Amino acid sequence: MNGILKTDICVIGAGSGGLSVAAGASQMGASVVLVEKGEMGGDCLNTGCVPSKALLAAGERAQAAREAVAFGIKTDEPVTDWKAVNQHVHGVIAAIAPNDSVERFEGLGVKVIQSAGEFVDEHTLKAGETLIRAKFFVLATGSSPFVPPIQGLDQIDYFTNENIFSNEDPIDHLVVIGGGPIGMEMAQAHRRLGAKVTVMEVARLLPKDDSELTKIVIERLAEEGINFYEGGRDLRLEKSKDGFSVYCETDEGKQCVQGTHLLVSTGRRANVGGLNLDAAGVDYTSHGVQVDARLRSSNKRIFAIGDVAGPYQFTHMAAYQAGIVIRNMLFRLPAKVDYSAVPWVTYTDPELAHVGMTEADAEKTGKQVRILRWGFAENDRAQAERRTEGLVKVVTDKKGRILGASIVGLHAGELIQPWVLAISQKMKIGAMAGMIAPYPTLAEVNKRIAGSYYTPSLFSEKVRCIVRFLLRF
């Protein structure tokens, strides 16, 4: 043993949340030890957000070539160099990696220990040959792919998000088990790169989003040639000479799909194993560490953020939670999380974005609400781009306060951001309706849907009568 290393804060996990805490706390004057057993940057940089968006970008370029004829430009069918695509993906990772590197964080004054961490008691963590005693600990260990017990899966080589971005070989037919955001994004990326793709989902595709909007995404992906099996039951896999077969039961009867490559994308589980949390007095389940509104575990000196704390497994949520725990630890402020304006985006094309209440959420409250809709076909920029398959949907209360917004369409992830601000600040729809939106932009859809809130009253018979009366003078 190297003795006991004493510090103000010990962070376990160098993903988005852990790095945010380590950098912020160190620059504010705290002594910080960062423990990471894997790669710096965590899942987001190495096997999640960054490589997936880089792969989607490659697929987007291929699809743009196919669709250029609509603009009067003729091209040949694009040919995918899978090895070069892989180099592109890892080039993007390499460009961002220095921001998350050991060298950068040691330059910020953080002591980095590259080893697995395990609690010895409520105040001490063992990392390699070092015992770390800290005033506060922050668990930021992330999550890992959840692989369900599918019959025959153990006989077949398969991808998860942890290894699919290492593939350099052509894919003939990719079968994706799981129709959530990751599964749908990877399905479209590979289809656009030339693979045949089938998605199999035991429940509903994109189940966390508004079904009116997800229908638009699914229709677009189906038009691009992706096959969907929704509500498949009793999945079973069999290895074959050229790949494998997937069998399932649907409402239409028995189904069999033959594929060459398999991606299992069926959710994620919190990384709580190997930490010896019992010794630290930390309550947890397979879903993660149990925390209060201040993100403290049952051991009030141990916080948890990011995927390991839930309930939202997003990189931006981990960064937000990092700010909450820094305020609690360094300034002793009773800062609490507020999940009323949590946005999320599925980066298919068209994108699918959401914040706040959905229409279904609003119905459950039993309160009187208004549902506004505005189609991208009414937007001049969308017409110019030939991307009119889109819809904005906004939920307000009877007084016009914005409760939720969902957008499906080109750049929906960018267009949702004013609604995030509006909901977090409890703004009314009039604020959005009154802004000046530059023309022609896609963002005009936000102003137009906000303005539609006033259409029934503004163009009513009562208003017409008032106008006719005033015009007499």
Asked whether residue 52 is assigned to any structural domain, the reply reads no
Residues 263 and 274 in one domain: no
**Residue at a domain's end among 213, 236, 267:** 267
Residues 125 and 243 in one domain: no
Residues 209 and 322 in one domain: no
Domains in the chain: how many in total? 3
**Residue at a domain's end among 296, 331, 366:** 331
Residues 364 and 447 in one domain: yes
Asked whether residue 75 is assigned to any structural domain, the reply reads no
* CATH number of domain containing 159: 3.50.50.60
- Give the residue ranges of the chain where pLDDT is below 50: none
Residues 140 and 165 in one domain: no
Whole-number pLDDT of residue 2: 66
Asked whether residue 24 is assigned to any structural domain, the reply reads yes
**Residue at a domain's end among 267, 293, 311:** 267
**The model scores a pTM over 0.85:** yes
Whole-number pLDDT of residue 314: 95
Residues 362 and 287 in one domain: no
Residues 246 and 372 in one domain: no
Asked whether residue 10 is assigned to any structural domain, the reply reads yes
Asked whether residue 441 is assigned to any structural domain, the reply reads yes
Interstrand relation of 253-259 and 243-250 (parallel, antiparallel or unpaired): antiparallel
Whole-number pLDDT of residue 1: 61
Range(s) of the domain holding residue 314: 4-40+101-145+269-331
* CATH number of domain containing 407: 3.30.390.30
Residues 382 and 324 in one domain: no
Residues 133 and 276 in one domain: yes
Asked whether residue 356 is assigned to any structural domain, the reply reads yes
Inter-residue contact 346 to 209 (CB < 8 Å): yes
